[in-house]
Amino acid sequence: MARILITSAIPYINGIKHLGNLVGSQLPADLYARYNRARGNEVMFICATDEHGTPAELAAAKAGKPVEDYCREMHAVQSELAEGFRLSFDHYGRSSSERNHRLTQHFAGKLADAGLIEEVLETQVYSNADGRFLPDRYIEGTCPNCGSEDARGDQCEVCTKQLDPTDLINPRSAISGSTDLEVRETKHLYLRQSTMRDQLDEWIDSKTDWPVLTTSIAKKWLHDGDGLRDRGITRDLDWGIPVKRGTKDWPGMEGKVFYVWFDAPIEYIAGTAEWADANGKTDADWERWWRTDKGADDVKYVQFMGKDNVPFHTLSFPATIMGSGEPWKLVDYIKSFNYLNYDGGQFSTSKGRGVFMDQALDILPSDYWRWWLLSHVPESSDSEFTWENFQSSVNKDLADVLGNFVSRVTKFCRSKFGEVVPEGPAYGAAEHAVIDALQARLDTYQSHMEAMEIRKASNELRAIWTLGNEYLQDAAPWSKFKEDPEAAATSVRFALNLIPFYATLSEPFIPDAAATMLTAMNAKADWPESAADALNALPAGHAFTVPEVMFAKITDDARDEMQTRFAGNS
């Protein structure tokens, strides 16, 4: 039994996320977690809400609420939506937790002890209109690299270039929109990650199995221009983790907090500790996942994230872990994703363009969205959501192929043999041919899931479903029944045995439908090592029930209505 630690990039607390955010980290991470649990591996799947920094403060101010209250409320909302999409986190924490406060301050102290923290007197943008310093994300302007007019003071989301607020052209306050800005002096702490360039470069080179997207972004940040730059890890904000050197005050840093991108990844560790706290476990129970001196040396650690998060997870967070000098677990594999675009453009909260997680669940059950998103996940390039494609995938894959198969065979059996698996003669050449084909497909499916090749895995699962439909169509027990009811019984028994087989393999993608199939067949999930064994699991006389329609088709009218509803304002 392997031990798999899985973390998904933690979403900002500021509002409900759209489908592109979901498929860029949390959903594929859940797929991998569910698959590994089904294979009998021990899994720890951690995520959290990212509650510090500018996004939280601005969203709270817009909502007219104290930031602590806003974060608490939005954590509850995001937790509920995660449950709605059946995201199977072992713990969904909060970066504002006491555990993360202590652990972030601990890492800062260790880095300072190692000479990797430098106090820097720097110039920073001050807004006269707002009466305060403006940290990076409080400043917007034109990117000097690509010309995007909506770049933030820490990074341009269009070209992903790392920026400082003073790099922006025509900067403005994100709070008031004021351009009455000036540069003043303030003191901050910097992580001297440039001194670790060679160490990080060697570590990244050792990850020969990483996706090209992950490695290329990391290498670009390491070597382009001036190469890896030291990074400020404190900000002039009220909300956040107070700057301390371990448990001690840090002279000169009074009133400052740690930068959100310093403390956020540390929540992966803190969140595992929170899991232990919430479940009556000891420190040893979470340390075995994170401390190589406490048993984590045999853990496989996999991170899932969108490409905009790659630089922090390949460079800054590893620099923090390595620089501490302590035996913390480093990531083994980073599965990164491109962007999901929406119907010819981009998702936009401000313009109401695209489908957001709460809206999606109001329209259709989570399995519809899970299947489309995972089967179209933006692995090798950006992908695009269109309503025509969504309708086609749901209607063809889920309704026509999987749902129709389950409905036809269970209803036919009930009408001719009752709600029990019929006996009939032993399987013949036709059934054994399908078993051989299923075994080959099963082996390929498992190899794609192990490699986290999600699109390929979904294609293989669809092909497995199709084999059952083709068999049922060729066997035609409804035509065979009058002249040879025993042969028809054999075909039905074989087809009924396919249902729990399909349910088990499909559970990582469509967990609700899988549960429906297993309940109907009075069966439990048991990952098939052998297709032949799986197709003999339900004996003659085994009782079942006919499930309700598993997937309703999306009509053209419904598709057009949804397309209009979520087109947004121009």
Annotated binding site for ATP: 349
| Contact predicate 394/372, CB 8 Å | yes
In terms of C-beta distances under 8 Å and separation of at least 24 residues, what long-range contacts does 104-107 make, across chains too? 104/241, 104/258, 104/262, 104/263, 104/266, 104/270, 105/241, 105/242, 105/243, 105/244, 105/245, 105/246, 105/247, 105/258, 106/246, 107/266, 107/320, 107/324
Please list, in sequence order, all residues whose beta carbon lies within 8 angstroms of the beta carbon of residue 433, skipping any fewer than 6 positions away. Answer: none
Which parts are annotated binding residues?
143, 146, 156, 159, 349
- Secondary structure (3-state) at 417: coil
- Report how far residue 46's alpha carbon sits from residue 278's, in angstroms, rounded to the nearest whole number: 13
Read off φ and ψ for residue 221, nearest 5 degrees: -70, -30
- How far is residue 91 from each of residues 185, 277, 279, 286, measured CA to CA in Å? 41, 11, 10, 12
Name residue 435's amino acid. Answer: I
Three-state DSSP class for residue 451: coil
Q: CA 315 from chain center: how many Å? A: 20
162 C-beta neighbours (distance < 10 Å), count: 18
Residue 373 burial (CB count, 10 A):
28
| Residues of the binding site for Zn(2+) | 143, 146, 156, 159
Please tell me the distance from the alpha carbon of residue 18 to that of residue 516, in angstroms, as a whole number. 27
Pairing of strands 299-306, 3-8: parallel
CB 526 within 8 A of CB 415: no
- Helices (H) then strands (E): counts for the chain: 23, 18
Residue 183: strand pairing partners = 125
**How many CB atoms are located within 10 Å of the residue 561 CB?**
13
Distance between CA atoms of 472 and 460, rounded to whole angstroms?
19
Q: Which sign does the torsion angle of CA 162, 253, 330, 299 carry?
A: negative
Q: Is 152 helix (H, G, I), strand (E, B) or coil?
A: strand
Detail the DSSP E strand segments found in 392-493.
none
d(CA 369, CA 374): 8
Element (H, E) at 296: none
Taking a C-beta distance cutoff of 8 angstroms, is the pair 231, 193 a contact?
yes
